[in-house]
Amino acid sequence: MQNLYIGVMSGTSMDGIDIALVNIKEKKVTSIASDCYPMPAHLKQLLLTLCETKQTSLQNLGEIDHILGQLFADSINQFLKDNQIKKHQITAIGCHGQTIYHAPSGANPFTMQIGDANIIAAKTGITTIADFRRKDMAYGGQGAPLVPAFHKAVLQDPYINRVILNIGGISNITVLIPQYPVIGYDTGPGNVLLDGWIKEQLGKNYDQDGIWAKTGNINQDLLNYLYKENYFQMPAPKSTGRELFNLPWLHNKLAGFNLAAQDIQSTLVELTALSISNEIKKLPIENGLPCELLVCGGGAKNPLLMERLTRLLPSWTVLTTDTKGIKGDDMEAIAFAWLAYCKINNIPSNIPEVTGASQAVSLGVIYQ
């Protein structure tokens, strides 16, 4: 008997709705199919405005929540049709939702993901699991990152020091060192500043293969100034998002600099690579085992960024997760299918050492 689960992810980059179909049986996760459905341009702009201005009306917020729920449901139904899968074959859907604000610190920490899961369950006719982050936060955790538990389940190797690096809008790492507690956290920006800058300057959604950045030069003064941001100095556990790293943040930092746009793009690539590599260099690796950095997410497709990571980490073998049988584009969608499986089976799915929660708990809320 198959135990089929669907995972749905729309990340910080907001470039599409990633959907993955997996079979999970006795803790073995097998990817069956995947696809990406576009995020309508007008909806992406609404979300970007919401995230970056942090201003809205209750009606606007409620309507976007509804529209996203409809989009997720329609995308899932199209995915089922495209792959000739009947809804009764699916045990559950795990949907991350779209993060519009993440504030894990302060007197009243909270996180907000929207995309009404009631609509997803109603329109697909499939049990839906959503709202994965807030229970971890209720136990004192950051609510992020959540994917390290999945990485541990499928990619841990007793004979290799591994770091799994996801470069989406934000970059996050999972550290899998044999005989060492699993840790994981957001290192800082991934593609969020790169995509925002080229969109503003050239009207493009992203810098294909880093070609534009290659025409520029790294400005060391700007790089040093950007890296002084307090987040980079904070110890883990920590997490971040567009509420910190966004175009207004970048423009504020650029005041006083007079640089060519492509030099800024090149410097932003280096900022992403540097903020990642500096965290990896801090790791307590003294066991003599080989070291692998496995990269997934959109940044894995940027040869310039991969080249800079390789240069900054000469003792690490830099590969993509595709080389280990998990497509980098599918990683997070598959992870949320796995998190749905954990909820249905009441299996703890956070790692307290990663998030800072006081205990391990099964995450998510069931919508039927």
Domain at 56, CATH number: 3.30.420.40
> According to the annotation, is 16 in a ligand binding site?
yes
Q: Which helix (H) or strand (E) holds 90?
A: strand 90-95
Chain centre distance of CA 171 = 7
Q: Are residues 52 and 160 in the same domain?
A: no
Number of domains in the chain: 2
pLDDT of the chain, 368 residues: tens digit per residue? 569 999 999 977 788 999 999 999 877 899 999 999 999 999 999 998 998 888 999 999 999 999 999 999 999 999 999 999 999 999 999 999 999 999 998 899 999 999 999 999 999 999 999 999 999 999 999 999 999 999 999 999 999 999 999 999 999 999 999 999 999 999 999 999 999 999 999 999 999 999 999 999 999 999 999 999 999 999 999 999 998 999 999 999 999 999 999 999 999 999 999 999 999 999 989 899 999 999 999 999 999 999 999 999 999 999 999 999 999 999 999 999 999 999 999 999 999 999 999 999 999 999 99
pTM above 0.85, yes or no: yes
Q: Check whether 195 is labelled as a binding-site residue.
A: no
Same domain, residue pair 178 and 125: no
CA 141/CA 353 separation, integer angstroms? 9
Cα angle: 302, vertex 304, 310; to 5 degrees: 105
User: Domain check: are 134 and 272 in the same one?
Assistant: no
**Which structural domain, as residue segments, surrounds residue 164?**
148-324
Residues 307 and 348 in one domain: no
Neighbours of 290 (CB within 10 A): 12
Phi, psi of 173 (to 5 degrees): -120, 150
Do 58 and 103 belong together in one domain?
yes
Please tell me whether residues 212 and 252 are part of one structural domain.
yes
Per DSSP bridges, beta strands 161-167 and 183-189 are: unpaired
For residues 191 and 112, membership in a common domain is answered with no
Whether 12 has a binding-site annotation, put simply, is yes
Same domain for 297 and 160? yes
Domain boundary among 324, 339, 358: 324
Q: Which of 334, 320, 213 is nearest to 263 (CA)?
A: 213
Check whether residue 166 and residue 112 sit in a common domain: no
What is the distance between the alpha carbons of residues 342 and 363, in angstroms, rounded to a whole number?
A: 8
Q: Are residues 154 and 70 in the same domain?
A: no
Report phi then psi at 193, rounded to 5: -75, -40
Do 206 and 264 belong to one domain? yes
Same domain? For 231 and 245 the reply is yes
Q: Any binding-site annotation on 169?
A: no
Q: Which residues contact 224 (CB under 8 A, 6 or more apart)?
A: none
